[in-house]
Amino acid sequence: MPELPLAVRETRAEPAALTGGQVVWETLARLGATHVFGYPGGAILPTYDALPAAGITHVLVRHEQSAAHMADGFARATGRVGVAMATSGPGATNLVTGIAAAMMDGSPIVCITGQVSSPQLGFDAFQEVDITGITMPITKHNYLVTEAAAIAPAIIEAFHIAASGRPGPVLVDITKDAQLGRCAPGWEGRAVRRPRRRPAPAVDEGACRAAAELIGSARRPVILAGNGVLSSGASRPLRALAERADIPVATTLLGIGALPASHPLNLGLVGMHGEAWVNQAVQGADLLLALGTRFDERSIGNPRGYAPRARRVHVDVDPAEIGKVVDVDVGIAGDLAQVLPALLALVAPGDRTPWLDEIRAARREASARDILNLPGDGRLHAAHVMADLWRQTRGKALVVTDVGQHQVWAAQYYRHERPRAFITSGGLGAMGFGLPAAIGAKIGRPDDEVWVIAGDGGFQMTAAELSTVAQEALPLRIAVINNGWLGMVRQWQELFHGKRYAATRMHGPDFCRLAEAHGIPARRVESRGEVAPAIAEARRATGPALVEFRVEEEDLVYPMVPAGASLHEMLRRPRPGPRPVAARGEKRGA
């Protein structure tokens, strides 16, 4: 896509002079920003002083980490740059976890922080922290701005960098004197540009021909669809390629939604907690076509044992990713939105019925172990909640998860039909991500039904954002999966540490009363028969609603590939039914 100029809005008159704080908001408005997630403080106060006249909606968070997660959720849901704002010192450092999460998952966000006045830099002034130095390894780029005239160029460039190539976070740190200073921004005639989501290098036709030849000769190919398919908007050409060549598609955790779950060629989730038949298909493939994925170890297991008989084609917008983790036979650096149509034109129609039949047989075998198909034991499992939520919403809700067992169960049992409708912290695995990211997603897509699914541990990390939900009157649906443990850590302790459960038993508050204290209606569910009515009730609410699901305490996520093992060495749910469980622990909650 060619770079498009950002037209200066005719309704915004060119001011003679503005303070640096006014320049911040005016630049954001001209770049198309509509919302900023932030928390004020002394070093950013001159910018907040200009907020009332800015025409931009500010969402007041309860912790700056949540501001970064909200910007992240907004960006992933909309495909636009999300914006977070904080003051210096602890305000800036509180952003760090959210910035790192955005960096690892390729989310385009711009974080704007206040800084002490430039004469005080380096003298350990009150709330002075070198936030550009701290965030250098976890941002695509960052800026320290010390004069008003440099604010607009820095923010404009930050938007461009955040959204181009492989998207990611950029930080702009602005000293207090720069915010107080005045300048004539001079947007008229300046090359203010709309940031591109991707660069537009020429498609390597030779590499595309080589890839097409491998596809044509393969008998057992698999497409591995990653987050790059979604961020490049390449879901349609992916589907067209899969259908023409008759190739099944496996998705990474962040690639969920790249192909509708109901599509017959969609295999499902691959990797550490991927479905058994998906991992088996990858390990038995003779060609792996990896699209927009960085071969994270959670997706591929041990690289030395990964897809051992497969030729490999890797397409990624970042040339540094190609060949970094696994060797490839053909590497294509470029935007999937351009590469896939070029590849599609070279690929002949295929018929791989024997290969697909083999995968379907493995899928039928695996379904006999599925917890939804096992005899009922009177207990409520998290998988029941995910399956019932999927049925009621018909796979059309925008689901945001926190991190842990519930995250995997949501990926396995909620079948997504749309792109950008499953948002989770993949690379960093940041507990506390779910609720704030869902707030950002709901604000970005107000007409969508948005559910946040969080475990009792991660939910408590950012539960203060219930106040933000209430203050913004967001009709957000909140599902708390409460098993009274740090569930995924407890699972590792059971399987790999001799059942030594150290520091994983968790006492929590009464989540329903906590929600009601914020004016949010809530309901507790403890049996399977209550699940569907509770979900239906929450969906009917005109404002926010919370449902706490008291699920089986010692359930395990299956399959599971142990650390350092290959995909085919996964642990699977034992036959013929659920494993025996230990006696329940002390009572949970108040």
Give the active site residues.
64, 126-127, 176, 488
Contact 550, 534 (CB under 8 A): no
- In angstroms, rounded to a whole number, what is the distance separating the alpha carbons of residues 231 and 226? 9
| Residue among 548, 428, 303 nearest 312 (CA) | 303
Quote the strand ranges of 146-265, DSSP E: 170-175, 182-183, 221-225, 249-251
171 vs 173: CA distance, rounded Å: 6
For residues 506 and 487, the answer to whether their CB atoms sit within 8 Å is: no
In whole angstroms, what is the distance from residue 297 CA to residue 564 CA?
Answer: 9
Task: Select from 318, 347, 313 the least CA-distant residue to 334.
Answer: 318
Residue 88's SS3 state is coil
Percentage helix, strand, coil for the chain under 3-state DSSP, each rounded to 5: 40, 15, 45
* SS3 of 491-503: HHHHHHCCCCCCC
The Cα–Cα gap between 542 and 474 comes to: 9
* 8 Å CB contact between 408 and 402: no
Q: Where are the alpha helices (DSSP H) in 164-275?
A: 176-180, 205-217, 227-231, 235-245
| Cβ contacts of 499-507, under 8 Å, gap ≥ 24 | 505/585, 505/586, 506/456, 506/457, 506/588, 507/586, 507/588, 507/589
